[in-house]
Structure 1
């Protein structure tokens, strides 16, 4: 048994990447490899890259160096979005042996015949138009929560985004396979499933670019609600134009779906939304938030927003700031606009200086802290159900209520991966909520 090869993984980016890394890892296990932590010595290091984060290339180089420190003879493979967009760039990084694009990454074990180091990384990446098949995946990162991929790719043409170039057209898993994966996850004793994808509200478009929706997102949600053994389902992120009133109504009455939505806004200025080629204007967003709060007053609503997009003057930024300030939302994910090759926005006039982008980002992050605090305060004194996580952090165990309030209580290993009814008592100095068991 001693000569079994060891493989380690490093994932950059989104929940979708994490679910795909898990699937790729399982294919190695099936081929007789032993999976080890990235910090350990391995024969193969696989890095799942991301094209959305700033400094993707710099981060990537640092991770390759880390791997080489552990084992300079190790075989290093790069997969994922950045590998699809800039394969030659990654292949030229010292120590990289293999770069696989969007369709090849799930067949990685086919490309690893001998593990001899290459002078120059080999590239296998398709034209993105060939990424027209669907590979289902889910990740089990900890014992309490799993990310379940239901959809991949995107047909939207947002002017700042490279994801369609990195992941191809919108396509979905079959309903049957999603339900099978959900049952598998439940059978492992995991209590919460987070639905993930690139544009999950577009769920139902078949494979091979078949634009007919086999099922709608609402039908998927209704079917998942009936899966035995799942305690909680969470929708990770859904476009405002695809979040229909019927879905909101269903979630409000559902057995397992929790009152938590994450809805990308990107800008509160209609002029900027048009330049971004988003498929809605700010008034639709206001309607969505109002509808959610009408049927689920305690619902947690998270918002993605981009600052510093070309043409975002001080007035237009303040429009976004005031729009968010007046909206009944719970927290923000703030992204500083960064130029991406092969996008329309890169050619646009009105470039916002980096120091201004950073200042605006800081202002919105401050607003996010204020919003989260106000949301947590509105929940004090209420009874909620908490799912406790598995880590001991400085003598505390943490967990999340169904509506995504982060709580803590003194560490007790028996609470790990269990659900308890609690009363939220006060916000601690670190911003996390204390509780009393009911």
Structure 2
């Protein structure tokens, strides 16, 4: 029935969303659909939404319009966090035919009886308390790395965050299922796996619902270290209070796990960390960075930080800025605070004007550029391994070292998805690093 039908996907938001989009796409292909690029004409367009920031909400309407431009009669489906939080709002957007919530999105093909457009979007959305089952997922993006979902949901009650409302309680995949997915990825010739989830350090909590899980995050890391054919494993984002010494020590001695950590900070002020209801204070963060650098001096450390949170005075912002300036980190992901409905923060006093939020964001982005440059400079002269990516970007091929230094060299298709040993030499004017090959041998 679907043999001549085409489906296209658009993903907003995080790596976790990308892994889930890929899994949903595979379900469509198994049902006989052929997958095409979002910019092409399709019979069905699936938009996987995000609701972390106001901007992601606004972009949804633009994406809907661009799909309908390709095919005004296309059947449009919205899934993801925004679809769970505000299904009626999405269903009311002109051209949207179907909105699926947190648990329904993985059965999307069963909700399509025919592809006739609806006058108003149809909604199938559970109460978030019922989202206690676990669906594994992984994505294969540029043929060189895969995002592997190991955990979903969150039990934290950060005052700015809607993710627990959009994704439900913390729950984890079984170790057996994670390992099976990792082996599938390896069999496709992919060299690197990035672990992803909402709160992956919480792995081992609630296998299905709140049932006791028999494994910990360290067990997961140790098991994945043994997967044949995977040359790199990257932990991705992990909460500082959940990044334990034994995990850091294991990564430091692993041949597969790479020395790269992304650790959310959100604020360098204890006053604001308490208002945000984060589960640590600044000292814990300082200790984690020191421990990583002590065991892996060349490790790359990325930081999430929020600017403009209610009550963030000039003094408190400078406290964060100065703290990050002194800290031995490599780059920042800066988020401008955005009011989200049904969060505690939206009712707090001390609202920071939008123009000040924007100015502070610009200051921290500038600091990030300096930090990245300093980190790259510290790596010049080092011999490192690069995994090359699959895209020809203006005559260059790019790749990343194990500690996340981005490199470039003139396009050579023979390098795609290979690991090569290089010596970093200079930083180009675009901020990327040039190198010399150490030898002609392909590692993998």
- TM-score, with length taken from structure 1: 0.99
CA shift in 2, pair 1:342/1:410, >3 Å: same
2:203 aligned partner: 203
Contact residue 260 and residue 300 of structure 1 kept, 8 A = yes
Q: In structure 1, the residue corresponding to 2:159 is in which secondary structure?
A: coil
2:30 aligned partner: 30
Alignment of 1:203-352 (within 5 A): 203-210=203-210, 212-352=212-352
1:398 aligned partner: 398
Partners of 2:54 and 2:190 in 1: how far apart?
A: 33
Cα distance, 1:223 vs structure 2? 0.4
Question: What root-mean-square deviation, in Å, do the aligned CA atoms of Structure 1 and Structure 2 show?
Answer: 1.0
Asked if residue 21 in structure 1 is aligned to residue 29 in structure 2, the reply is: no
425-434 or 49-58, which moves further after superposition? 49-58
Gaps of 5+ in 2: 439-444
Contact residue 13 and residue 56 of structure 2 kept, 8 A = no
What is the count of residue pairs matched by the alignment?
Answer: 438
1:155 aligned partner: 155
Cα distance, 1:56 vs structure 2? 2.7
Q: In structure 2, the residue corresponding to 1:55 is in which secondary structure?
A: helix
1:73 aligned partner: 73
1:435 aligned partner: 435
Partners of 1:37 and 1:378 in 2: how far apart?
A: 40
Cα distance, 1:3 vs structure 2? 5.4
Q: In structure 2, the residue corresponding to 1:391 is in which secondary structure?
A: coil
424-433 or 55-64, which moves further after superposition? 55-64
1:361 aligned partner: 361
Partners of 1:2 and 1:237 in 2: how far apart?
A: 38
Cα distance, 1:53 vs structure 2? 2.8
Partners of 1:345 and 1:408 in 2: how far apart?
A: 42
Partners of 1:27 and 1:3 in 2: how far apart?
A: 14
CA shift in 2, pair 1:71/1:425, >3 Å: same
Cα distance, 1:238 vs structure 2? 0.0
Q: In structure 2, the residue corresponding to 1:393 is in which secondary structure?
A: coil
Contact residue 241 and residue 280 of structure 2 kept, 8 A = yes
Partners of 2:54 and 2:93 in 1: how far apart?
A: 18
Q: In structure 1, the residue corresponding to 2:392 is in which secondary structure?
A: strand
Cα distance, 1:57 vs structure 2? 3.0
Cα distance, 1:211 vs structure 2? 5.8
Contact residue 54 and residue 339 of structure 2 kept, 8 A = no
Q: In structure 2, the residue corresponding to 1:287 is in which secondary structure?
A: helix
Contact residue 13 and residue 53 of structure 1 kept, 8 A = no
Contact residue 407 and residue 434 of structure 2 kept, 8 A = yes
Contact residue 172 and residue 208 of structure 2 kept, 8 A = no
